Chains A and B, each alone.
Chain A
Amino acid sequence: MKKFLFYIFGFTFVIILLFSLITFITDKGLKKSEYGNLKEWSDIFNKDIHADLVIQGSSRAWVQFNTYILDSVLNADAYNMGMDGTPFDVQYVKYKSYTKNNKYPKVILQNVDWDTMDKNTPVFQKYQLLPYLNNHYFDEQLLNNKIIPYKDVYFPFFKYAGEPKAVQVGFSEYFGIRHYVSPKHKGFMSVDGNWNESDFEKRKNGGKVHWQKNPEVEKLFIEFLQDCQSKKIKVVLVFTPYYHGLNNIIIDMTGLKTYYRNIAIKYNVEFLDYSLDPVFHDKNYFYNASHLNKKGAEIFTLKLANKLKDMQIIKPANTNQPEKLKDK
């Protein structure tokens, strides 16, 4: 028995040591990396963001809110925190981490749509959260909102189990084999793609779906609005354009917009709906039914920026504000 226990403990020790080494290297590498959303997380934790205007949302935020245009029209510093495949629960943790570590923005443009109030289990691209675990405040937010399991926090050597992409990126960066350079500009990614009809047909064939509303996520959204009020951050809910054919796939789109409009009225925030704008009935502005391409995003952001300028949502920092750019 002694021999057995000796080997078992010895083997376990070696394995934990090995896993811890992998975790250490991956953590370090990912923190240096610009792959996916990692740069934005690093900017947040390194307290590198001093934005006046922050964009928050899913992929419909990060590919559609052009930060070049927002900066130039509003003469402000905009930063896009959109995250692919992510409903509001993870967005809320990002918001909390942002405000904990950085200067409060003056305005938050919150993208809202059919996925905002849903809950993804397991969380999409979990690896982006992992290098920053062991930050007590961050861990607490993730655990409270059931975004990651306890084992990832309490067994840190095990957090990259089943995350080969994270290990690959982390090791590549750590050993200087490959440096991933972010194609984004302050969080915004321009996608220069064309409409894909077969992709849309497949989505249509997949059947109709109803937009989702998870009560826990909804509660977080209300908490977010109240928190912004207490921090004197203006919030604008933006329903960004989508290809109108989606109205035949997502059931009760009108009800969804009414739902957000009612929230906006109740919590005294602005609600801007660009989904019915006839300009965006043209497929050439989309690369798929829910995402504008580079051209579409430029037109949309310009419209939005001019609207925000008219609303005087951000008080000009200086008087040399550029003229309003001409939108379509």
Chain B
Amino acid sequence: MIFTSIGFAVFLPVVFLLYWFATKGNFKFQNILLLISSYFFYGCWDWRFLFLLLFSTSLDFVTGIKIHDAENKSTRKFWFWLSICVNLGFLGVFKYYNFFAASFAEGLSSLGVHVDLWTLNIILPVGISFYTFHGLSYVIDTYNEKIKPERNFINYAVFVSFFPLLVAGPIERATHLLPQIIKKREFDYLKAVDGMRQILWGLFKKMVVADNCAEISNHIFGTYQNQSGSLLFLGAVAFAFQIYGDFSGYSDIAIGTAKLFGIDLLRNFSYPYFSRDIAEFWRRWHISLTSWLKDYLYILLGGSRGTKAKVIRNTLVIFLVSGFWHGANWTFIAWGGFHALLFLPLILWKTNRKNINIVAEGKQFPGFKELFQILYTFFLVTIGWIFFRAETFEKATYFIKKIFSFNTNYFDISSFTDLSAGLSGFTLLFSVLSVIVLILVEWNNRDKSHGFDVSNKKFRWPMYIALCLSIYICQGGSSAFIYFQF
């Protein structure tokens, strides 16, 4: 079941009404309902993987208690590493085994040794990277004695599988979400209304911005060999807005949905395309993953302390892991590596925390310098997205080379004509208009917690109706969320 389906439009109100009315405010019943609903939500995709989810949840629940109750260090360590190994083992088998097997076979083949390795013919369980990281954060925090283990299985299972965040995050922390689950929740009118607004804005970003831009980027990436350099760059820009609309739209719907149940989830995006440098971009893009990797990996490795060599190593590790987390393909690793190269100068010269305030704070428009910084950062990020989007490393490098090879055909009009012939005029029109609306609305709300925090009462209802109408008429064709594959 996906957030943009009719099924979810029926599912959500039913669960909402049962949650607040049938449970009579008893949070234990509410949690049981949330757990059943979450398993139903996940089972709609493929019920067989419910067993994997249940096993992963049970393992971390048991190991959390065993770590806490262990009488000596070695027992604590045993349970800790058991959980880490099994969790990462599942991730390795389901997500990375085929990649490692194929890469290993290719490596041997280049040495003249031909092996025929057994590969798994299985589909990747939706959300495995997300719920595995939920579980890992819980076990690590328990081991580090930051939290006490949860002894009620239902509560813990709701923390792992709460349906708004189950398949594509935000990646929650036990320290943030569990305390909300184990206490009584009251209906908060303002929070619920804000949640509805965030859901509406998320639907707009996904169904109008992302799905229309997807048609352009899919067309250009699909026919990249016939396209001019300028059009390839346009394809990369379209993908930049597609992935932002898609993933931040998903996060908005997830966070908004959780608010309806009185639960606050971690913020995942904070207007990343208004960033003035790459470091700021990474403080604003997929915040829950970045902070997870920072807390559980980067700091563990020593962070930005120590020799320059160590800092470089740590930065490279965190970006490569981030890339690899997204998928078992060299293109994701290259994407991570590309960002590491952009980030390293900032951290080495200690300018990575130069831009921590809100851009053009208190002003209507950015200054000349800020505008240049924003555009330059967006340009770099867009080039990085080419690695993320391309199916192979070779395709990505060909794509980038062509973008930077300025020749007489660079602005070849015929490739623009082909684009308009290959796509409907409405797709092009809606992509441009929706991106303009997205930029204007989010710029206007860049100091707020989400893009559609409408404070002006006069404009609220017309804006709600305008958004609903644009979602109805202008929605694009694609519907799968990109981050489901991770």
- A3 touching B189 by the CB < 8 A rule? yes
Contacts of B476 on A, CB cut-off 8 Å? 162
Contacts of B355 on A, CB cut-off 8 Å? none
For window 119-164 of chain A, which residues contact chain B by CB distance below 8 Å? 122, 151, 155, 158, 160-164
Contacts of B414 on A, CB cut-off 8 Å? 198
- B189 touching A1 by the CB < 8 A rule? yes
Please pick, from B187, B226, B464, the residue contacting A205 in the complex, using a CB distance under 8 A. B226
Contacts of A162 on B, CB cut-off 8 Å? 472-477
In Å, the complex CA distance between A81 and B6 comes to 34
Interface 1/0 per residue, B434-472 and A, CB below 8 Å:
000000000000000000000000000000110011011
Closest-by-CB residue of A relative to B190 is: A4
Please pick, from A3, A22, A164, the residue contacting B426 in the complex, using a CB distance under 8 A. A164
For window 417-441 of chain B, which residues contact chain A by CB distance below 8 Å? 424, 426, 430
Within 8 Å of chain A (Cβ to Cβ): is B409? no
Within 8 Å of chain A (Cβ to Cβ): is B85? no
Closest-by-CB residue of B relative to A163 is: B473
Instruction: Specify the main secondary structure of chain B where it touches its partner.
Output: helix
In Å, the complex CA distance between A18 and B462 comes to 13
CB distance from B308 to the nearest CB of A (A): 49
Contacts of A202 on B, CB cut-off 8 Å? 226
Known contacts A164-B473, A165-B424: A151-B20 contact under CB 8 Å:
no
Contacts of B430 on A, CB cut-off 8 Å? 164
Within 8 Å of chain A (Cβ to Cβ): is B192? yes
Within 8 Å of chain A (Cβ to Cβ): is B193? yes
Q: Residues of A within 8 Å of B, CB-based: how many?
A: 25
Interface 1/0 per residue, B1-16 and A, CB below 8 Å:
0000010000000000
- A14 touching B192 by the CB < 8 A rule? no
- A4 touching B6 by the CB < 8 A rule? no
For window 152-175 of chain B, which residues contact chain A by CB distance below 8 Å? none
Closest-by-CB residue of A relative to B193 is: A4
In Å, the complex CA distance between A7 and B471 comes to 20
- A18 touching B189 by the CB < 8 A rule? no
Closest-by-CB residue of A relative to B421 is: A199
Q: How large is the interface on B (under 10, 10 to 19, 20 to 34, 35 or more residues)?
A: 20 to 34
Within 8 Å of chain A (Cβ to Cβ): is B196? yes
- A19 touching B472 by the CB < 8 A rule? yes
Within 8 Å of chain B (Cβ to Cβ): is A222? no
Within 8 Å of chain B (Cβ to Cβ): is A15? yes
For window 187-245 of chain B, which residues contact chain A by CB distance below 8 Å? 187, 189, 192-193, 196, 225-226
- B465 touching A165 by the CB < 8 A rule? no
For window 7-66 of chain A, which residues contact chain B by CB distance below 8 Å? 7-8, 11, 14-15, 18-19, 22
Contacts of B6 on A, CB cut-off 8 Å? 151, 155, 158
In Å, the complex CA distance between A14 and B414 comes to 46
- B225 touching A15 by the CB < 8 A rule? no
Please pick, from A18, A122, A205, the residue contacting B469 in the complex, using a CB distance under 8 A. A18
Within 8 Å of chain B (Cβ to Cβ): is A272? no
- A14 touching B465 by the CB < 8 A rule? yes
Contacts of A22 on B, CB cut-off 8 Å? 472-473
- A161 touching B424 by the CB < 8 A rule? no
Contacts of B225 on A, CB cut-off 8 Å? 205
Contacts of A163 on B, CB cut-off 8 Å? 473
Contacts of B226 on A, CB cut-off 8 Å? 202, 205
- A11 touching B426 by the CB < 8 A rule? no
Contacts of B196 on A, CB cut-off 8 Å? 8
In Å, the complex CA distance between A151 and B8 comes to 13
Within 8 Å of chain B (Cβ to Cβ): is A69? no
- B426 touching A165 by the CB < 8 A rule? yes
Contacts of B189 on A, CB cut-off 8 Å? 1, 3-4
Contacts of A164 on B, CB cut-off 8 Å? 426, 430, 473-474
In Å, the complex CA distance between A206 and B187 comes to 57
Within 8 Å of chain B (Cβ to Cβ): is A217? no
Contacts of A151 on B, CB cut-off 8 Å? 6
Within 8 Å of chain B (Cβ to Cβ): is A167? yes
Contacts of A7 on B, CB cut-off 8 Å? 193
In Å, the complex CA distance between A306 and B473 comes to 49
CB distance from B429 to the nearest CB of A (A): 9
For window 228-270 of chain A, which residues contact chain B by CB distance below 8 Å? none
In Å, the complex CA distance between A7 and B477 comes to 30
Closest-by-CB residue of B relative to A198 is: B414
In Å, the complex CA distance between A19 and B468 comes to 10
In Å, the complex CA distance between A15 and B469 comes to 8
Contacts of B464 on A, CB cut-off 8 Å? 11
In Å, the complex CA distance between A280 and B226 comes to 29
Contacts of B187 on A, CB cut-off 8 Å? 1, 4
Closest-by-CB residue of A relative to B475 is: A162
- A15 touching B424 by the CB < 8 A rule? no
Closest-by-CB residue of B relative to A162 is: B475
Which one of A1, A15, A164 has the highest number of Cβ atoms from chain B below 10 Å of its Cβ? A164
In Å, the complex CA distance between A198 and B421 comes to 14
CB distance from A196 to the nearest CB of B (A): 11
CB distance from B196 to the nearest CB of A (A): 7
Please pick, from A3, A4, A167, A198, the residue contacting B473 in the complex, using a CB distance under 8 A. A167
In Å, the complex CA distance between A315 and B474 comes to 52
In Å, the complex CA distance between A205 and B227 comes to 13
CB distance from B470 to the nearest CB of A (A): 10
- A15 touching B465 by the CB < 8 A rule? yes
Closest-by-CB residue of B relative to A19 is: B472
Interface 1/0 per residue, A188-228 and B, CB below 8 Å:
00000000001000100100000000000000000000000
In Å, the complex CA distance between A188 and B251 comes to 50
Contacts of A18 on B, CB cut-off 8 Å? 465, 468-469
CB distance from B63 to the nearest CB of A (A): 39
Which one of B6, B414, B477 has the highest number of Cβ atoms from chain A below 10 Å of its Cβ? B6
CB distance from A162 to the nearest CB of B (A): 4
For window 103-127 of chain B, which residues contact chain A by CB distance below 8 Å? none
CB distance from B17 to the nearest CB of A (A): 9
In Å, the complex CA distance between A14 and B430 comes to 24
Closest-by-CB residue of B relative to A154 is: B6
Contacts of B192 on A, CB cut-off 8 Å? 4
CB distance from A13 to the nearest CB of B (A): 12
Contacts of A11 on B, CB cut-off 8 Å? 464
Contacts of B468 on A, CB cut-off 8 Å? 15, 18
In Å, the complex CA distance between A207 and B10 comes to 44
In Å, the complex CA distance between A245 and B473 comes to 41
In Å, the complex CA distance between A261 and B473 comes to 45
CB distance from A133 to the nearest CB of B (A): 16
In Å, the complex CA distance between A22 and B474 comes to 14
Contacts of A160 on B, CB cut-off 8 Å? 472-473
In Å, the complex CA distance between A22 and B471 comes to 14
Closest-by-CB residue of A relative to B187 is: A1
Closest-by-CB residue of B relative to A150 is: B6
CB distance from A71 to the nearest CB of B (A): 34
Interface 1/0 per residue, B471-485 and A, CB below 8 Å:
111111100000000
For window 158-198 of chain A, which residues contact chain B by CB distance below 8 Å? 158, 160-165, 167, 198
9 A-B residue pairings within 8 Å (CB atoms) = A4-B187, A7-B193, A15-B468, A161-B475, A162-B477, A164-B473, A167-B473, A202-B226, A205-B225
Q: A155-B6, A160-B472, A164-B426 are in contact. List 17 more A-B contacts (CB 8 A).
A: A1-B189, A4-B187, A4-B193, A8-B196, A18-B468, A22-B473, A122-B477, A151-B6, A158-B6, A162-B472, A162-B474, A162-B475, A162-B477, A164-B474, A167-B473, A202-B226, A205-B225
A-B CB proximity, top 3 nearest = A162-B475, A164-B426, A151-B6
